[in-house]
Amino acid sequence: MSEIPGDLKFLSSHEWARNDGNGRVTVGISDHAQGLLGDLVYVELPEVGQEAKAGEQIAVVESVKAASDVYSPVSGTIVEVNSALSDKPETINEDAYGEGWLYVIEVAGIEEFDELLAPDDYAQALDDAQD
């Protein structure tokens, strides 16, 4: 299993969220998720200005094996998207927790972020799923 950064929070559906401060959260998919999907070939990102609701589908990632919905970990407004992924979706495979981020959201309230899975809890959920 890959290293899980300690500054992230997670959804059980394998999205990660990083609190950037100033009411903004960066979102991506976990290294575990990209590994399950395999080589990514397409990413459908949300639109800047789009409203997102926690737990609802906001983006899609497609690999040679499958398409997978991406769910928003928090509610708010999309303020930035990683448009470089349009030309190079495999960046997610190469650097899921860094350059492979999907979008930045201005959160309605940071409480939702605090309720996400801590890295250790996410790692435990992955372990439990493999049993």
Q: What is the pLDDT of residue 130?
A: 79
Q: Per the structure block, which two tokens stand in for 16?
A: 């990660």
Chain segment 110-120, per-residue pLDDT in tens:
899 999 999 99
Query: How far is CA 124 from each of CA 1, 14, 111, rounded to the nearest angstrom?
Result: 12, 13, 23
Q: What is the pLDDT of residue 131?
A: 72
Answer whether residue 88 shows pLDDT above 80: yes
Q: What is the C-alpha to C-alpha distance for residues 107 and 85, in angstroms, rounded to an integer?
A: 23
Torsions phi, psi for 80 (to 5 deg): -160, 145
Q: Could you tell me the pTM of the whole model?
A: 0.95
Answer whether residue 1 shows pLDDT above 80: no
Chain segment 91-117, per-residue pLDDT in tens:
999 999 999 999 999 998 889 999 999
Q: What is the C-alpha to C-alpha distance for residues 115 and 74, in angstroms, rounded to an integer?
A: 10
